[in-house]
Structures are given as C-alpha cells and as structure tokens.
C-alpha cells in the first residue's frame, strides 16, 4: 500500500487537521455533510465528497464522528462503509464512544467485510494540527502495521491490545485524568483569586511542582486570559467524555467518586451557558460563587 487511497469521514474541528496530516501518506478524500467544511478541506488541498456513495473506493477509511449512533449510520446500510468498501480495506474508528459501544459496532460488522480497528485519539485540536496526537490502537495487529505510516502522520501510536474496545478503554482512563484535572486546575486558580493572590505568579510557581499537570499547563493560561476566543476543546465535549467515563465505570461496577464530582462541575458550567466555550471557561463556575 505505497500510496493508499484514504477516505476521511468527518472533517470537523479536529477531523480536518487530522485529514490534512493523513494526506502526507496517501490521497485523501474528505467526506462531510457540511458544505463549509468541505470547502475548508478543498482549501487544504484535499479531495472532497458529500457522500460515501460518491467517493472513490478507498484502501483505508478513517472515521471521526461525534457519536456511536453516527458511526453506526456511517458504517452500516446500503450506502455505508461496509457496502462501499472492498474486503481488503481497513476501517479505523478514531472517535471516543467507550468500549461497550465500540464492541457493538464490531459485532455489526458483516462477515468477510473490511477489517475494523479501534483507534481513539487524545491531544485535542492543537495535537491534531501539530500531528502530535496519541492514538490508542486496538484490533488486528497486522492491520495496524499495514496502515502504520498513515496513523503516524497524526501522532504516536500506542498498542492498546488485540481486542476491539481496548483502545476505547485506554481512552476512557485518559479522559478520567483529563476531565478531572481540568476541573481541579480551574478550582485551584479560582481559589488563588479568592485568596487575593496574583494568579499569574501562582501559576508560574506551581506549574513545575508536584501539583503540575498537562491540563494546568495548557489550560491554566487560558483560564487567566479572559480574552481567549480560540477553542482548544469545548466545555460540552469535556462533559460528554466525563459522563462516558461514569457510564463505563458503572458498567464494570467501579465506584468513581472523582468522576461524579467532575461531571457535577461540568454540568454546572453548561447550565451557566458555557457549553460552546473553550474548556478553560470552567473556571467561571467557581468565580460565580
């Protein structure tokens, strides 16, 4: 597969820069229902299509959609990925749905159909743009190696395991850390404000110590900068992921106190009208008390 034909489904805020990166290793056709997104994809030199049926057959199909229901609609049906791809194709789900939903998608794959891989990613829009995402790859090891050059354009591959759902499980653990650490960073900086401290100095003092975290380092400055208009990741996406962590934990009988607390804070942020704001806006939950 020297120059693979790649179909990238979902050219949104994170999907488009991933598709642009994937074009370093093959010929990419971006598929999306939004004319605006397709225009942006063409501006980046990608081929585009409004539907799978109109797209050329692909060797690799990359799927980055918002929900498991959307993924099922994309994969199944007479005009879906399985119906329009050859048996030698590799289909890669890059979205985060949780292990149970991913296993259900795998169970719906037709016998003899394309290989399905479970490869959720972390690193957000900045990581997608820079090609520094972490990809939790699970499924057939030979298929992962076959498409490794394409995946590595987007970031670093971590082999999560042989079973579909393992990649999602890795991502869920990651999201427990990410969502809770975002909320803790917001609470800590708001606490510093309430103490009457110079928060910029506090941030500089703690970011390299034992209380440091990736979320504090990357979102702390944004929390302290009220003029930040660009979005690295939305509040409602963090809530979606935190809720998914809680659902997954409940499904395996795990009692996650931190997850419940995190969901509560993020729900309060959404109730304040912050859903579409950058995740750094979570600090406003504490400022309004």
**Which residues are annotated as catalytic?**
171
3-state secondary structure of 164: coil
- Report d(CA 136, CA 121) in Å as an integer: 6
Closest CA to 144 of 174, 166, 128, 112: 166
- Report d(CA 157, CA 171) in Å as an integer: 13
Closest CA to 11 of 36, 30, 39, 27: 30
Closest CA to 285 of 182, 215, 211, 214: 182
What's the CA angle centered on 262, arms 259 and 265, to 5 degrees? 155
Closest CA to 169 of 124, 213, 120: 120
- Report d(CA 203, CA 201) in Å as an integer: 5
């Amino acid at each position: 597969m020297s120059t693979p034909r790649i179909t990238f489904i979902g050219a949104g805020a994170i999907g488009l820069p991933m598709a642009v990166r994937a074009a370093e290793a093959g010929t990419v056709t971006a598929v999306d229902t939004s004319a605006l997104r397709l225009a942006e994809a063409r501006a980046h030199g990608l081929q585009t299509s409004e539907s799978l049926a109109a797209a050329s057959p692909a060797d690799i199909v990359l799927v980055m959609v918002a929900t498991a229901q959307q993924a099922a609609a994309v994969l199944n049906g007479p005009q879906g990925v399985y119906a329009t791809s050859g048996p030698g194709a590799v289909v890669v789900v890059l979205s985060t749905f949780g292990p149970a939903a991913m296993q259900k998608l795998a169970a719906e794959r037709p016998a003899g159909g394309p290989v399905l891989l479970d490869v959720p990613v972390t690193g957000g829009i900045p990581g997608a743009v820079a090609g520094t995402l972490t990809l939790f790859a699970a499924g057939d090891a030979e298929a992962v190696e076959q498409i490794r050059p394409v995946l590595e354009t987007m970031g670093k591959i971590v082999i999560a395991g042989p079973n579909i759902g393992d990649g999602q499980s890795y991502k869920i653990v990651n999201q427990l850390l990410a969502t809770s650490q975002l909320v803790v960073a917001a609470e800590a900086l708001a606490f510093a404000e309430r103490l009457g401290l110079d928060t910029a100095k506090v941030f500089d003092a703690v970011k390299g110590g034992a209380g440091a975290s990736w979320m504090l380092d990357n979102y702390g400055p944004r929390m302290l900068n009220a003029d930040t208009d660009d979005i690295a990741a939305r509040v409602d996406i963090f809530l979606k992921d935190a809720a998914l962590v809680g659902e997954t934990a409940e499904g395996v009988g795990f009692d996650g106190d931190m997850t419940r607390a995190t969901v509560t804070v993020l729900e309060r942020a959404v109730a304040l009208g912050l859903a579409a704001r950058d995740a750094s806006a979570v600090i406003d939950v504490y400022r309004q008390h």
